[in-house]
Amino acid sequence: MASKQITPTRMELTRLKKKLVTATRGHKLLKDKRDELMRQFLEKVRENKALREQVEAGIKAANKNFLLARAGMQDQVLNTAMLAPKQRVSVEAGMENVMSVEIPTFDFKTRTPDQNDIFSYGFAFTSSDLDGAVKSLADIFPDMLKLAEIEKSCQLMAVEIEKTRRRVNALEHVMIPELQANIKYISMKLDENERSTQIRLMKVKDMVLKEAHNYETF
């Protein structure tokens, strides 16, 4: 497994051991992060799906109403009616931190508090279908904003989960096994060196003794 050249020294061994401790800890932390993100993501994405279905149905109904309204009046009149909207929506955007993923929170504000300001036209020349259509769209709007918030969160979390999962896998299947193999290699090599030094010393001792006293040891 030792893919690149490593020097079998005691210093390298200490360094690798320290690295292994860090890697194991990092792996544990990232794994926890991934699990928690996944739990929250699944919760959010279920909500996202339900909300989307609801919003799509709402918009579909509103579109139907608009189609009816369009059919009942002249194009020019309709255009004039929609030309100058009275109401204006602005969004207050905040941040929420979920496991180091920044997800947005939206809060909308209307310029005027009057609910009827969505009707930007006099009622004399437009059909009542248009009022209904605009109202149905206004009713679905808070849900649409909620959908925007949740769907964006889901997208951001999905990206983060993918990244974290890659990191966890890289640590688990590449980094940590490689470090362990290298540590094993170095400690084996060091042991082997020690044994060979021992033997060499014994041999030398024998030779010296034999030369000095003609003395044999077994």
Partner 1 sequence: MYKIAVLGDRDSIYGFAALGLEVFPVSNGDEGAHTLRRLSEQDYAVVYVTEALAEEIPGEIERCRESLMPAVIPIPGVHGNTGMGLNMVKRSVEQAVGSDIIFNGN
* Interface ranges with partner 1 (CB under 8 A): 38, 41-42, 45-46, 48-49, 52-53, 55-56, 59-60, 62-63, 66-67, 70, 78, 82, 85-93, 102, 104, 106, 108, 110-111, 117-120, 133-134, 137-138, 141, 144-145, 147-149, 151-152, 154-159, 161-162, 165
Q: Phi and psi dihedrals of 197, rounded to 5?
A: -65, -45
| CB nearer partner 1, residue 145 or residue 181 | 145
Dihedral-angle region of residue 179 (phi above 0 means left; psi in -120 to 50 means alpha; beta otherwise): alpha
| CB nearer partner 1, residue 16 or residue 133 | 133
Tell me how far, at minimum, the Cβ of 177 lies from partner 1, in Å.
22
Tell me how far, at minimum, the Cβ of 183 lies from partner 1, in Å.
32
| CB nearer partner 1, residue 79 or residue 214 | 79
Tell me how far, at minimum, the Cβ of 155 lies from partner 1, in Å.
5
| CB nearer partner 1, residue 28 or residue 60 | 60
b or e along 35-73 (b: 16 or more beta carbons within 10 Å of the residue's beta carbon)? eebeebbeebbebbeebeeebeebbeebeebbeebeeee
| CB nearer partner 1, residue 32 or residue 102 | 102
Strand, coil or helix: 6: coil
CA 209 from chain centre, in angstroms, equals 72
Strand, coil or helix: 92: strand
Beta bridge partners of 105: 94
Tell me how far, at minimum, the Cβ of 126 lies from partner 1, in Å.
11
Tell me how far, at minimum, the Cβ of 98 lies from partner 1, in Å.
13
Beta bridge partners of 90: 109
Residue closest to 144 by CA, chosen among 83, 79, 94, 89: 89
| CB nearer partner 1, residue 92 or residue 211 | 92
Tell me how far, at minimum, the Cβ of 41 lies from partner 1, in Å.
5
Which helix or strand (DSSP H or E) is residue 97 part of?
Answer: strand 89-98
